[in-house]
Amino acid sequence: MLIRPRYLRRYRQIVEILADYGFGAFLAQMGMSERLNIPRWWRRRKEIPGDEMTNPRRLRRALEDLGPTFIKFGQILSTRSDILPPQYIEELSYLQDEVPPVTWEEARQVVETELGAPVEELFAEVDPVPIASASLAQVHVACLVSGEEVVVKIQRPNIERTINLDLDIIYDLARTAQQRIATASRYEIADIAEEFSAGLRSEMDFRREAWNADRFRQNFADEAHLYVPKIYWEYSTRRLLVMERIQGIKIDDLDALEAAGYSRQRLSGYAADFALKEVLIDGFFHADPHPGNMLILPGEVIGVLDFGTVGRLDDSDRANLARLFIAGVQLDVDGIVDQLQRMGVADYRVDRMGLQRDMKRILTRYYGLPIYEIDAQEVAKAVQPIMYEYKLNVPTNYYLLMKTVIMMQGVGLKLDPDFDIIQAAQPYIGKLFRRMWLPTSWGPGAIRLAMDWRDFVSVLPRTTTRILDQVERGQLTVQAELPQLEPTINAIDRLINRVIFSVLVAALVVALALLLPRLDYAWPWGLLTWIIVVGFFVLVFLAIRLAWSVFRSGRAKFNR
């Protein structure tokens, strides 16, 4: 791995922190210590004050010290139960994205740079104290010159440069790990880092969050009990987002809801309708519906905030999830495993009997219980060891959906412990399957398939005639490429050549050694004497060189 000079300082900081938390051996295995000229004593784990920490906790602490980019990467890894053992998943789930805010003067410069005008000309008033602060941005309350109350999301100064630098380093580290460490290669950790990098760079463009909000407004335009704040596009840029300010009661503040006279049962129904429609009908869902992002407005209207993280499900995803849901409700473990394989989550070489046994054990634990006694988070924790053991490859959007379901179930059950989400989901699942049978759903695919068959039928006679002519003339040849086999053949070829060369050198050395005592060394030497003596020393040199090459080859394998 080539370390670019402008990254060298940050690389050394990262390696130092990881070594302090006991990951020096891992770094040495990746070759980082030698590339950065880090002494051996620096690779040893330093003692950290406090209680004895487990390896998962050391990893979490290291990621927190490495900064916001690594914290977000750890949060992504905390959803990958197919890669990390459950104890790491649980520990990384505690990572928090909270940092102190920058001063108003620094934030003000970002606003004026983005909009090209003084703040006083843009806003009638801005509260210099932010109401929220995270690693990417902080949020201020403001009032437009026209009088509307808004919230202003401002990207932290220079954060984009810092994150881009860290993202490049994370990808380089992941690629090196994939090349040198078998486990990282098996899970294609470089692809995970690349996907994370694309997602975080997208999150830094606040226009995407604004587009997401507008799409939700459109999807729920006919829903009287859901409200999405308005985006002020004339004030919004890549690093700045201005949105209508809405104020209400947090959806989990039960005392305030009851004091306001709101029905918790109706609110739980509205929240469930929101979640089911966005997942099963729209295929575009809010992936961070924690209580702080859901406010109850007058009229029992749910106001939804923060559209930075969303998930997407196409028609096939929704149909597959609905089939999986039905198989689970029916306790059909055969159907569950079949569906997981069709979805590409479970490999066809998986231990099917073992997976069925473990799935049935979990399903029977909760089968027949009322919904209020089933904790989605507890179910997710029970599934994590199965995902890790059987290497279930769950796509990122499914992980986002799992997180969304857990959060929404927590909100729903807190509002109404007797609420039955399965019963509420049945109309939406029925609507989904009815849509699948409509011509608008299967028609375009059928047309494409018909056109493919038309092309196939039109070329089949001519192609078949040419193939039969070649067979009749004996001109048909079959060429097969085995890219996995070629490196092995080359290695065997080099090994055989080295063995043959070694035998020849050894035979010639022995032959010349037998001839040397029989030569006439009286001066001046004859031509034959000169040839044999010089040849002997040349062959000795070649033998030493061959031995050295064998020694170096073995040492290189040992180091790898």
pLDDT digits (tens, 9 = 90+) for 221-255: 999 999 999 999 999 999 999 999 999 999 989 99
What CATH number should be reported for the domain holding residue 123? 3.30.200.20
Instruction: Over range 335-352, report the average pLDDT.
Output: 87
- The Cα 516–Cα 13 span in angstroms is 63
Model confidence at 395, pLDDT cuts 50, 70, 90, reads confident
CA-based torsion, 209, 210, 215, 218: positive or negative: positive
Please indicate whether residue 16 or residue 35 has the higher confidence score (pLDDT): 16
Of 181-195, 208-222, 260-274, 280-294, the poorest mean pLDDT is in: 181-195
- The Cα 256–Cα 236 span in angstroms is 34
Residue 188 lies in a domain: yes
Residue 459 lies in a domain: no
Checking if the pLDDT of 282 tops 50, the result is yes
pTM of the entire predicted model: 0.69
Please indicate whether residue 428 or residue 227 has the higher confidence score (pLDDT): 227
Of 303-307, 403-407, 430-434, 491-495, the poorest mean pLDDT is in: 491-495
On whether both 541 and 509 belong to a single domain, the answer is: yes
On whether both 263 and 403 belong to a single domain, the answer is: yes
Provide the pLDDT for residue 25. Answer: 76
Provide the pLDDT for residue 75. Answer: 84
Asked if residues 140 and 131 have their Cβ atoms less than 8 Å apart, the reply is: yes
Mean pLDDT of the chain: 80
Provide the pLDDT for residue 299. Answer: 92
Of 432-446, 452-466, 481-495, the poorest mean pLDDT is in: 432-446
On whether both 63 and 113 belong to a single domain, the answer is: no
On whether both 20 and 33 belong to a single domain, the answer is: yes
Provide the pLDDT for residue 514. Answer: 66
507, with CB counted inside 10 A (0-12, 13-18, 19+), is: exposed
Residue 471 lies in a domain: no
Helix (H, G, I), strand (E, B) or coil at 296: strand
Instruction: Over range 205-222, report the average pLDDT.
Output: 94
Checking if the pLDDT of 212 tops 70, the result is yes
- The Cα 537–Cα 519 span in angstroms is 15
- Tokens 């486990």 label which residue? 183
Provide the pLDDT for residue 497. Answer: 66
On whether both 120 and 234 belong to a single domain, the answer is: yes
Provide the pLDDT for residue 452. Answer: 64
Provide the pLDDT for residue 152. Answer: 96
| DSSP secondary structure letters along 456-486 | HHHHHHHHHHHHHHHHHHT--------TTHH
Residue 449 lies in a domain: no
Instruction: Over range 267-289, report the average pLDDT.
Output: 89
Instruction: Over range 299-323, report the average pLDDT.
Output: 88
For the chain, what percent of residues have pLDDT higher than 90? 24
Model confidence at 538, pLDDT cuts 50, 70, 90, reads confident
Model confidence at 529, pLDDT cuts 50, 70, 90, reads confident
Residue 448 lies in a domain: no
On whether both 175 and 45 belong to a single domain, the answer is: yes
On whether both 289 and 399 belong to a single domain, the answer is: yes
On whether both 428 and 528 belong to a single domain, the answer is: no
Provide the pLDDT for residue 371. Answer: 61
Of 89-93, 188-192, 357-361, the poorest mean pLDDT is in: 188-192
On the CB side of 124, how many CA atoms lie within 13 Å of its CA?
8
- The Cα 463–Cα 171 span in angstroms is 46
Model confidence at 217, pLDDT cuts 50, 70, 90, reads very high
Angle at which helix 264-276 crosses helix 396-415, to 10 degrees, equals: 170
- The Cα 114–Cα 480 span in angstroms is 58
Checking if the pLDDT of 526 tops 50, the result is yes
Catalytic annotation present for 334: no
Checking if the pLDDT of 558 tops 50, the result is no
Residue 364 lies in a domain: yes
Q: What is the pLDDT of residues 154-191, one digit of tens each?
A: 999 988 888 999 998 888 888 888 887 776 666 678 88
On whether both 126 and 274 belong to a single domain, the answer is: no
Hey, what amino acid is at 491? Answer: A
Q: What is the pLDDT of residues 370-386, one digit of tens each?
A: 666 677 777 878 888 88
On whether both 209 and 198 belong to a single domain, the answer is: no
Residue 331 lies in a domain: yes
CA-based torsion, 159, 160, 163, 164: positive or negative: negative
Domain count, the chain: 4
On whether both 421 and 501 belong to a single domain, the answer is: no
Angle at 440 between CA 438 and CA 446, to 5 degrees: 95
SS3 track for 134-191:
CCCEEEEEEEECCCCEEEEEEECCCHHHHHHHHHHHHHHHHHHHHHHCHHHHHCCHHH
On whether both 305 and 170 belong to a single domain, the answer is: no
Q: Which residue of the set 214, 252, 282, 288 is catalytic?
A: 288
Task: Mention every residue, 6+ apart, whose C-beta is less than 8 A from residue 451.
Answer: none
Final residue of a domain: which of 370, 404, 437?
437
* Range(s) of the domain holding residue 149: 103-156+205-220+227-245
Model confidence at 285, pLDDT cuts 50, 70, 90, reads very high
Instruction: Over range 215-219, report the average pLDDT.
Output: 94
Provide the pLDDT for residue 234. Answer: 94
Residue 282 lies in a domain: yes
